[in-house]
Amino acid sequence: MTKLVCPECGHENEPERIYCHRCGARLDRSATVSRTSSQKELKGTQRRVQKMLNPRGATFRPLFFMLCKLVIGACVAAAVIQMLLPPDVLPAVKDAVPRQINFDLENAIVSHRPAQLQYTDEEVNAYLAYALKSKQSALNKSRLIFKRAIVGFDEGTVIVTAERSLFGYSLYSASAYAVDAGEGKIVFSNKGGSIGRLQFRQEIMQFMDIIFADLWSALQREQTLVAKMGAIEFHEKKVLLSAPPP
């Protein structure tokens, strides 16, 4: 450590001082400045010598970081493309007379007959198109226009897909559920989902299920009726609803 010697009293001061600690005279700091400059020059010389002795290492580092950026950018672009691609969903139902599923459920709850109701996914989708038509304004979000809701049934699972339009381009979000209904309540268990064709695990979809909040709110009446049924079962392309016991 360079000591600053006071020219007046000869006292050795710390290198950070400007005035002498003993007599208060101004210290000559040129020695400290020159030593700092020499250290910077030494480090610069070391870097230049290292670059001369190892030119490949000097060029490999920026090349490595550039390659990492390209890989990350390609992964992000691929994910966005997958999210924009439409999944395999049932075509839109046109000019179909929907079954009055809500009235069927009300009748089964009150009279307990028939003992079991059965609907195909096409019948449920036709009903949803009819029921949600009058709630279009509540489902639209600024530039994101709600178009339709689609359900697909599989063994023990129902897949709910919402199609929305942004500047005329359709965007799809889907979520799979295992559903348990009865005793006036309905319980959903998320089984994963997707945005476009990009799949998400159920741990992630549990936090993303908020994108269906407006749809669940619009179908509150139907959820209440299903909850009052005795049981619900999902099979391939159909759903079975059991009337509550008398």
The 10s digit of each residue's pLDDT in 209-244 is: 788 888 888 999 999 999 999 899 999 999 999 998
What distance lies between CA 40 and its chain's CA centroid?
A: 48
Domain ranges of the chain: 1-53, 57-84, 101-242
Q: Give the separation between CA 131 and CA 149, rounded to whole angstroms.
A: 10
Q: How far apart are CA 169 and CA 158, in angstroms?
A: 26
| Assigned CATH topology for domain 101-242 | Bactericidal permeability-increasing protein; domain 1 (3.15.10)
Nearest to 128 by CA among 235, 219, 36: 219
Supply the DSSP symbol for 171.
E
Interval 157-210: pLDDT, tens:
999 999 999 888 999 999 999 988 877 788 888 899 999 999 988 888 888 878
97 — pLDDT class (breaks 50, 70, 90): low
Per residue in 16-51, pLDDT tens?
A: 788 888 898 888 877 666 555 556 666 766 776 666
Query: pLDDT category, 71, cuts 50, 70, 90?
Result: very high
Band (pLDDT 50/70/90 cuts) for residue 10 is confident
**Other C-beta atoms within 10 Å of 114: how many?**
13
